[in-house]
Structure 1
Amino acid sequence: MQTAAGSHGTSSTFKDFIEKHPANDLKFKEAIEEYKKINIYYTVSRDDYPTSRNHGVSTYDLVVASAVNSKNLTDFKLNCLGFLPLETSQNLIQLLRNIESYYDTMVWNENKPKLEKQLQELSKFENVNIQIFNRIKQFYDSSWTADVPFQVALYPIPGANGFITATPHVNNLCVAIFSDETDYNSKNGVVLHEMCHVLYKEQKIKKQFEIENHFKENNTLYSKFAYSYLDEALATAIGNGWAYKTVNHKLDDREWYADATINKFAKLIYPKVESYIEKNKSIDKEFLTHSVKTFAANFPKAIQDYTILFNKTVVYANDLKEREILEAVSENFQIYTLNLSSPIFHPYSIESINNSPETQLFIIHNNQQETLDVLKEYFPLVGSYKYKNASMNLSFFDIKGRAIIVLVLKDISELPSELSKMKRQVFFDIKQPLQF
């Protein structure tokens, strides 16, 4: 249902498959629309951890973890108690019961035997993966211990190729796998890639502050961008690079990641990653300094590249939900973290405007001129531009060196097209705030 609803982090190939099958079934379409209305995203914040490490835990992760560990929908209902409001949980379970037969007919019945074959083949990597886990745990200096198991949860997508996804949820690594896929070595690399994300997130708190402080002290324009890409680049360099080489005795000569920036950054830092792991060294100041210098040398226009700026973003908007913004932005840009603050001038939004180091994106789709008039109190440059009943993109740096993007729209329906325009533009002109 996440995929059918077009949610962030799902496979476009799987969505296309779903749409082609019960495409004319009104009941299924209505179920998708009902699913979109169910809020399963609540965030628990870990305020005693470094602010840039995105240590909020979403109830969505807990719900997915419960699904992995449930035998059926009745079991799932009980395992979800307390994560969501009971009414929400009841509605979710009933909706899933209503559409279960669609899933069985479209996907499960035909592909279950193929998935069991995939599971059998991937299980052969278990022993070597235990050894790999111990090495990369040392590299990350993670608090994760061997007595807390990782569970790999496979789910099938009919076919042999296309765009595929994998996501970690607590200790559950949810990995999509094409039913006719045969490249088990690469798929095992994906499993280990997701494991790396968990180990990074659960680094010892002392290590997290050491990393945070180093990036703050590193006085370059590129430091925060290297930091925002570090988690994904490390997971790629280790899971798709070093671990793959450990198992296959050679590096994978294909692309390691679908995003060009992550793929390139991962391959550039790979020699350093390999050296540290082979020497049983943990991430330290030398490694982080090398990463920043590497990023700066190879991505010189990163500071004005929308693709990179959107990697970590705080969005300010009125009358919008995080899910709809996330889906619109992720259609065009790879996102590591996106946080919505609404209304724009609520006290907690003001605090974020004053203190958040990430890219600041303002989406203004009503009361346009009034909102701009208030916004100029925080960003005086905004006062030089007036709303003329046409879409407007102001992109510039504030006195703190943050990228500020102000999207002024006639109405919210313009958001997808304006984001697409930014994607095509790639870089914004640092000499001219008004981009279009």
Structure 2
Amino acid sequence: MKQSFFVFLLLLSFGASGQKVNFNIKYSEQLAVFVFIQNLSDNYPENVFKTEFSQSKYNTKKYKDLVSQFDQLPIDYSYSFDEYPYGSKIPMQSRDILKKNLIETKNLNDFKLRSIGIIPNATLQSLTEIISAFTPVYNELIYIPNKGQFEPQLKDLSQYSREKNLEDYFQTGLSFYHSSWDASIPFEIALYPLPNSTGFTAQAFYNNFISAVQTNLKDYKSLFSVMLHETYHILYDEQSLEVKKEMDQNFKKNPSKYSNYAYQLLNEALATALGNGYVYEKLNGKADPNDWYNSQYIDLMAKQIYPTVKEYIALKKPIDQNFVDTYIRLYETHFPNWIDELDHIMTYRYILSENRKDFNMIRQMYPSRSSEESETEISLLSLEKMKKTPLTKIIIVSQNNNEKLSLIKSQFKELKQWNFNPDKEFGYKILLEDKSQLLIINQQKSSLQTLFATFK
């Protein structure tokens, strides 16, 4: 996105009882320290937190060892909601639940009690000890120097939301997505200062929203349009199982060969059309003439579907079969080459390679990724798993080439007439019956970059 995400949810009346959704805007020291430590990791790019830390008296072996220890903690576990259509429901992420608990508890002991069972107890104890050790560091370097600017911002943001009646836009999204929310579940919004920055960051999960806010932020209309963008992702995710299945079938029964990749793009395209298009235009009085998103595929598709989105909002209609068919037709008519552009189709990928280094290389070549799965075995089982997904399928063969290529050919009926030379390097691409692209690379000595270039 042209700006980093910021999320904020407002008072909203909906449901049969007319009950309002409670929201709590606050500063969570525990969460802020957790995020601070994350940003000090070698795995994170350069950022303002790293800069402040590296120039401070705390840039010592003791604290750097604690950051390394934090990096090694096994706190990332997940499970999928398998009854939902593939990719339509965000998997549970244990790291997000831990952040949720940091926000909703008053001290680290309460956090430990709330989080027992999510990760092993020894890991949980190490995590709390590291957070405790970095709390005075964070306060001295970040929070206290910016407290005077940050705390008035919280009040200003609340006032702006009331003046603009931004709760109406949440209701708009709720109706458009045919989604729902239990009004008895409050939203917890945790904000923290982001000094010396020209952008803002945020993440949304469950009933929590976290955001780093630059201390000199003035442009609230841009901020709130991005807030609602992220909120619309939550509403899309909270569609009922029945709605998700119906939408999935609406895309699958459309005969267009473009329907699969149009579907992969849908979530971001709609959130952008609603948040960066509709909300921004209402707050600003006219549409944003600049890019709405920093991916051309999302930006252009959002702008193409925007008139239809506005029509549905005006008529208070939820997404239906006609909307899906119109969306796919716009994708096919205006962007017929996209399903062959790697920068687009590699955003949604399933990789099989017996060389683990290939995964990192692909991430360097195609850093944009919405969905990614990978395995280090090319086998009957892994191919069967791959075939069940609508993702772009990439298979890299670099050993036992004839055996592996023969196995691949036997598992895809579209390859029945395919002839290959296992001793010759090549890249082969074909659109499968499920309307996903299959990319097969036979590697001998050339680099992965060289072989991927053969697809262009």
TM-score (normalised: structure 2) = 0.78
Looking at structure 2, the residues matched to 173 and 73 of structure 1 have their Cα atoms a distance apart, in angstroms, of 20
Please state if 1:231 is matched with 2:267. yes
1:354 matched to which residue of 2?
387
- Number of corresponding residues: 412
Whether 2:158 is the aligned partner of 1:123: answer yes
**Is the partner of 1:123 in helix, strand or coil?**
helix
Q: How many Å separate the matches in 1 of 2:338 and 2:126?
A: 44
Gap change, CA 1:76 and 1:273, over 3 Å in 2? same
Q: Which residue of 2 aligns with 1:193?
A: 229
Q: Deviations over 1:309-343 (max 9, x none)?
A: 1222223345859xx95897278432222233454
- Aligned counterpart in structure 2 of residue 265 of structure 1, from 301, 305, 320: 301
- Cα distance in 1 for residues equivalent to 2:115 and 2:380: 32
Q: Kindly tell me: are residues 285 and 60 of structure 1, through their superposed partners in 2, closer, same or farther at Cα, counting changes over 3 Å?
A: same
* CA shift in 2, pair 1:80/1:217, >3 Å: same
Decide whether aligned partners of structure 1 residues 61 and 365 sit closer, same or farther in structure 2, where only a CA change above 3 A counts. Answer: farther
Q: Who is 1:81 aligned against?
A: 116
CA–CA separation in structure 2 for the residues paired with 1:386 and 1:395: 12
Residues 199-208 or 392-401, more deviating: 392-401
Partner of 2:91: 56
Cα distance between partner residues in 1 of 2:132 and 2:380: 40
Following TM superposition, by how much is the alpha carbon of 1:5 offset from its aligned partner in structure 2, in angstroms?
Answer: 3.4
Matched, 1:280 2:316: yes
> Which of the residues 169, 173, 189 maps onto 1:136?
173
CA separation in 2, counterparts of 1:363 and 1:76?
A: 44
Which of 68, 75, 83 aligns to 1:40? It is 75
Q: 1:345 corresponds to which residue?
A: 379
Alignment correspondent of 1:405:
439
Contact 2:347 2:366 (8 Å CA) reproduced? no
Q: Which has the larger radius of gyration?
A: 2
CA contact (8 A) 1:316 1:340 kept: yes
CA 1:218–1:158 in 2, change beyond 3 Å: closer, same or farther? same
Q: Helix, strand or coil for the counterpart of 1:53?
A: coil
> What residue is the counterpart of 2:369 in the other structure?
335
Give the distance between the partners of 2:113 and 2:286, measured in 1 at CA. Answer: 46
Paired residues for 1:8-407 under 5 Å: 13-14=47-48, 17=51, 21=55, 25-127=60-162, 128-162=165-199, 164-318=200-354, 325=359, 329=363, 332-345=366-379, 347=381, 349-362=382-395, 374-378=407-411, 384-386=420-422, 394-397=427-430, 399-400=432-433, 401-406=435-440
1:65 counterpart letter in structure 2? K
Q: Return 287-296 or 401-410, whichever deviates more.
A: 401-410
- 8 Å Cα contact 2:48/2:196 also seen in 1: no
Question: In the aligned structure 2, how far is the partner of 1:149 from the partner of 1:59?
Answer: 20
Measured after TM superposition, the shift of residue 215 of structure 1 is 0.7
**CA gap 1:387/1:155 in 2 versus in 1, 3 angstroms:** farther
Change (3 A) 1:168 1:317: farther
Aligned-pair RMSD on alpha carbons?
Answer: 3.5
SS at match of 1:151: strand
How has the CA–CA distance of structure 1 residues 32 and 409 changed in structure 2, closer, same or farther, with 3 Å as cutoff? Answer: farther
Q: Judge conservation of contact 1:6–1:327 (CA < 8 Å) in 2.
A: no
- Tell me which amino acid in the other structure corresponds to 2:118: F
Identity of aligned residues (%): 29
Deviations 1:125-150 (A, max 9, x none): 44412222112101111022433333
Structure 2 spans left out of the alignment, 5+ residues: 1-36
Report the alpha carbon displacement of residue 92 of structure 1 after superposing the two structures with TM: 2.2
Shift in Å, 1:24: 6.0
Residues 166-191 of structure 1, C-alpha deviations (whole Å, 9 max, x = no match): 22110112223222221122111222
Bigger Cα displacement from structure 2, 213-222 vs 66-75:
66-75
**1:311–1:65: structure 2 CA closer, same or farther, 3 Å change rule?**
same
Superposition deviation, residue 295 in structure 1:
1.5
Give yes or no for contact 1:312–1:337 (8 Å, CA) kept in 2. yes
Q: Give the whole-Å Cα distance in 2 for the aligned partners of 1:240 and 1:246.
A: 10
How far did residue 67 of structure 1 move?
2.2
- State the Cα distance separating 1:387 from its structure 2 match: 6.8
Q: Provide, for residues 88-119 of structure 1, a one-character-per-residue CA deviation record: whole Å limited to 9, x for no partner.
A: 22232223333334433432222233222322
* Residues 345, 135 of structure 1: alpha-carbon distance in 2 compared, 3 angstrom cutoff: same
The answer to whether the 8 Å contact 1:395/1:403 transfers is no
Relative to 1, partners in 2 of residues 1:155 and 1:384: Cα closer, same or farther, differing over 3 Å?
farther
Give SS of 1:187's match. Answer: helix
Determine if contact 1:52/1:212 at 8 Å carries over to the other structure. Answer: no
